[in-house]
Amino acid sequence: MASVRIREAKEGDCGDILRLIRELAEFEKLSDQVKISEEALRADGFGDNPFYHCLVAEILPAPGKLLGPCVVGYGIYYFIYSTWKGRTIYLEDIYVMPEYRGQGIGSKIIKKVALDKGCSQFRLAVLDWNQRAMDLYKALGAQDLTEAEGWHFFCFQGEATRKLAGK
């Protein structure tokens, strides 16, 4: 197995992150919903007050190889607040390229995100057909809140958001 490094993303990683976001959307059968650009990722994640944080997983080249590290996965997260539990991390995306799955890379990303800022909760969402991901999260100790407590998550998008805001 190749050597893997999980590190904080840098502004120069935005092209690789966007490539992986598109791969994730294709995997989720939602490619048509990706509207983000490399420029928006750069502006939103690497300014004075970033909207998100990102870790990347990269495969390190073998000693003596001329190629540099290759980004094969990422995790985008941000902080939210629970009125019941306090500081919470929300993992918006986690993705590892198919040919690198099963090597513990996803678990390493999740564990590194969980170490951040002393939060009391770590939340994420998963599509109901992605059993492999659900099994991983449960194996790591996550609880399925839809199953356990009946929570459903909602989202206002586009026109619904504008209408809600009175615009």
135-165 pLDDT per residue, tens: 999 999 999 999 889 888 888 888 999 999 9
Query: Is residue 81 annotated as part of the catalytic site, yes or no?
Result: no
Distance from the first to the final alpha carbon of the chain: 53
Q: Which tokens hold the place of 160?
A: 């619904």
Q: The whole model's pTM is what?
A: 0.89
Question: Under a CB-based contact definition with an 8 Å cutoff, are residues 118 and 88 in contact?
Answer: no
Q: 32-91: per-residue pLDDT in tens?
A: 999 999 999 999 999 999 999 999 999 988 777 767 789 999 999 999 999 999 999 999
Of 78, 75, 143, 79, give the one whose Cα is nearest residue 110.
75
Q: Is 67 left (phi over 0), alpha (psi -120 to 50) or beta?
A: beta
In the block, tokens 């918006």 appear at 92
Given the residues 74, 77, 95, 137, the one annotated as active site: 137
Q: 117-136: per-residue pLDDT in tens?
A: 678 899 999 999 999 999 99
Residue 1 is predicted with a pLDDT of: 57
Burial class (CB in 10 A: 0-12, 13-18, 19+), 160: exposed
